Chain A
């Protein structure tokens, strides 16, 4: 099956890459663009570890075909990290011990950014509702929710 050329913007920079027609955005990001901060947990949209922003909208990159992002903007955890220092969410995740194994952390931080971009001062209930598509098996979510609330404060 022949490859497709995709022109997109990834983390603010033009990204031209080849993909197989059936390939997901998740695999293009990880294996072709070498952006491995986006994690694969289930590949069917049920864990949120592969969360990215597509034209600013939070999506699971395992449920997006790479070919679909032609002409579109993709933001990953790598693009969310400032040139200097850390994003406030990243800082609060560290200070609140909101990660243990850390595999779900990039997805949670990307999702939390999408939340705060839309709702800068969410309640605990709003945080829990927005992040319900992101699974964490280590923390029981307590410290994650606190970290997001702290970043919003």
Chain B
């Protein structure tokens, strides 16, 4: 079960939880099981088949360019962060 940290502005929709353990082998799969628990959260994180523009996903401390396709392990820690591209903010 990967640990997903729930962004503050999404906690209201997620029963006030700050983090949640979810099943899934990819970030996309985690978000699907998140959606199953709390309908509506997906639409806040995902646009079509990609992460919401301006939103980045960090798995175990590293920004994941693969976004939804990024792999996660049972022990992974997942964060949704403001996407920053060094000198090139979105």
Q: Do chains A and B touch in the complex (CB under 8 A)?
A: no
